[in-house]
A and B are shown apart, each in its own frame.
Chain A
Amino acid sequence: MTVSARLSAHDQASRHLQLTDEGQLRHFITLDGLDRAMLTDILDTADSFIEVGERTIKKVPLLRGRTVVNLFFESSTRTRSTFELAAKRLSADVLNLDINTSATSKGESLSDTLLNLEAMASDMFVVRHSQSGAPHFIAESVTPDVAIINAGDGRHAHPTQAMLDMLTIRQHKQRFEGLKVAIVGDILHSRVARSQIRALQTLGAEEVRLIAPGTLLPADVDSLGCTVEFDMTKGMADLDVVIMLRLQTERMEGALLPSEREFYRLYGLDSEKLALARPDCIVMHPGPINRGVEIESAVADGPQSVILNQVTNGIAIRMAVMSMAMSGQVAERATRTRQPGGAQ
């Protein structure tokens, strides 16, 4: 049986969208459809870029002459800065656009905005959007010849965040097989959680455990292939990794939760709960953290916390994904121009 025969129709479509015929990455939109070898390749490439960050001159010429546009339809400080730094360390020209405040408020459609940017000879769009599936839409229907990197779409996916988390886990645990990993908190609204679940499953983690109250879990949660635990004190048992998610305070307004205090008591990670996990359990958080809402300061700053490693790894992962997708795009453009009837 071939690899593709074992994939669902959805995974095959995602694979086809993101990879060239030769299996090279050309867009990085979702982890669906990417196999373990591809994810491992991304992690290995990122490892090689960590060394670049430690040099005095932190640049490599892989994206020299290429134009990367950071298209943020939803505000972000950290993700955008790390993408910008990553692109600059790869020697790309970088254009930052906060679309919230420009074109779309003048009534221009998303498609028109993107086609205009493509006309400016952009090679790569790093896209963040509040709608799930926006990068799919762009890659499929608007600008298929521009490499699309998903920097977070709605509740759907945040694949670079998940991969930097995987890099952090691999640095501390050296492997994924046999690991028990819990994701705690607002799973329902979290694109980070969806990508982490997929990454952990593809890389071979033994168990992915979701710990949350019923109001913060998606319908049909069992279809995600995880175990579900409502009681965090039980859910901490045997954990190698615990990932805390950020809780948006507006969750109280929609009657999803009664109060921050009750949430913290039941699902906040404090020293007592952490003591229920394996002694070498690491604590992760995609940030920005709410101290005293989902995590105790002593834990966030404690010896088991790897939260700051995550930030450093973010730049390396983004360099890896951007350089890989760019080289796939360039290879594909070359194939197309060689084909009769292809682009000129």
Chain B
Amino acid sequence: MTSSLRIDNARLSGESGAVNLLVRDGLIRSMGRDVIRDPADLEIDASGLTLLPGFVDLCCNLREPGNGQKGNIASETRAAARGGFTTVCASPDTSPVNDSGAVTNLIRDVARTKSAVRVLPVGAATRGLAGELLSDMVGLASAGCVAFSNGNNAMANARILRRCMAYARTFDITLMLQPVNQALAADGYAHDGRVAARLGLLGVPEVAETAAVMEMLLLAEETGVRIHLGQLSCARSVGMVADARARGVAVTADVAMHQLLFTEEALSGFDSRYHVVPPLRRESDRKALLQGVEDGVIDAIVSQHQPHDTAAKQAPLGITEPGLSTVESVFSMGLSLVERGELTMNALLRALTEGPAAVIGWSAGIEQGAPASFSLWDLESQWQAHPDTMLSRGLHAPVSGQDLKGVAHWTVCEGQVAYRPG
């Protein structure tokens, strides 16, 4: 345990001149241009490094309990800390599913002793994520679940969805929903477009998402529940969210970082890494999602981190498990978008900090009196997400073997060092 920490000569993004920080008992005690002379347990010379608020991830699979071959809370939160995240929302699709207070408590207990960062469990909205019976949402919330989701699974029908929303509304609970109409998505695993046509891949049409978005927005408007639409993939979804928000629907939204970098073309060599749900779509969708982040219609960028053992990805494309191992490289991928002029640094940082924090009623930011959760980056140095160097158990990074800018030198979570290279 480090009880005090001093940072000298850090740079804030977009500002010139150095800033100094003193952290004691997990909080930022002083911060400013003036040199701090108080001694501390740990003193960091941050010359040349940029100080950024700790990132908040609304969708991260930690695989514990139940999927130790893919990852666990210790391994995946270490990877998250390397990625600059100090808060991760743990998706409920563990084994067993997080649909009972016992599982929530288990996750929190393990996190307390083994996690490098703050883990916030997301409860299952329905029992077993089956989409048929409501889970004990109020009990789960008091055990520590910050929101409720149904994972990648759709509700059995619109009636269940409507009741789930009405119940959540009663208790001021936020629902995080991944919009998918399962009858339309069927067995598909690729965008139903030109690449699927050429390669004979089973397609998921755009309308499998947009029909669900429309249904969810109408039901949310009627029930008055607060909903968060997760991992949008279509341009039209962004437009519908903007319209709904304009008429007062309590809706927020996120997008996975890989949706901002890749399109359906990534599957043209049957590369199973890019088998993700929802599928990577067209260039026009990618552009609209980027614009949505820039405009703030999309509140957050998430990692949608899904670590897998190698066997899960070592098979013909259609029978591999979906998802990428991304949490270590999200920010570096974002920097590449900034460098190409596709996204501003302000929008990127907002979507990784205050945007997602607001969705779960938290705050993120570096100021006097706030929890000391931040990271220090060398934004110019390069690294590679490589199986030998990754901290996640999942080695299927989308950018494996490419030079990425942005190396985290320190990540501090509530005053404790969560990550330090070497």
- Give the interface of A toward B (CB within 8 A): 9-10, 13-14, 32, 109-111, 129, 131-134, 136-137, 140-141, 153-157, 191, 194, 218-221, 223-224
Contacts and interface: CB of A to CB of B under 8 A. Distances in A.
Interface residues of B, number: 24
24 contacts: A9-B265, A9-B268, A10-B268, A10-B269, A14-B269, A32-B198, A109-B311, A109-B315, A110-B316, A131-B318, A133-B270, A133-B316, A133-B318, A136-B269, A140-B269, A154-B318, A218-B192, A218-B196, A218-B203, A220-B194, A220-B196, A220-B197, A223-B194, A224-B198
B200 A132 contact: yes
Given A10-B269, A220-B194, A132 B199 contact: yes
B314 interface: yes
B16 to A, nearest CB: 42
B200 A137 contact: no
A210 to B, nearest CB: 11
A13 B269 contact: yes
Contacts of A219: 192-193, 196-197, 203, 205
A224 B197 contact: yes
A176 to B, nearest CB: 21
B314 A111 contact: yes
Contacts of A194: 198, 200
Interface string B175-191: 00000000000000000
Contacts of B269: 10, 13-14, 136, 140
B319 A131 contact: yes
Contact of A129 (B192, B205, B265, B316): B316
Contact of A136 (B196, B270, B311): B270
B199 A133 contact: yes
Contact of B317 (A131, A191, A221): A131
B193 A110 contact: no
B315 A111 contact: yes
A219 B265 CA distance: 15
Nearest to A11: B268
A58 B263 CA distance: 51
Interface string B236-270: 00000000000000000000000000000100111
A14 B200 CA distance: 15
Contacts of A155: 200-202
A137 B386 CA distance: 21
Contacts of A191: 200
A220 B318 contact: no
Interface centre among B203, B269, B270, B318 (most CB of A within 10 A): B270
Contacts of A224: 197-198
Contacts of A132: 199-202, 270, 316-318
Max count, chain B CB within 10 A of own CB: residue among A10, A109, A133: A133
Contacts of A140: 269
Nearest to B201: A132
Contacts of B319: 131
Contacts of B201: 132-133, 155-156
A156 B190 CA distance: 13
A13 B316 contact: no
Given A133-B199, A137-B316, 6 more contacts: A110-B316, A131-B319, A136-B269, A137-B317, A218-B196, A223-B194
Interface in B270-317: 270, 272, 311, 314-317
Contacts of B192: 218-220
Given A132-B200, A132-B201, A220-B197, A141 B314 contact: yes
B193 A220 contact: yes
Closest 10 CB pairs of A and B: A155-B200, A133-B270, A131-B316, A223-B194, A156-B200, A218-B197, A134-B316, A10-B268, A219-B192, A132-B200
Given A218-B196, A219-B205, A13 B268 contact: yes
B197 A221 contact: yes
The interface centre, meaning the residue of B192, B193, B316 with most chain A CB atoms within 10 A of its CB, is B316
A155 to B, nearest CB: 3
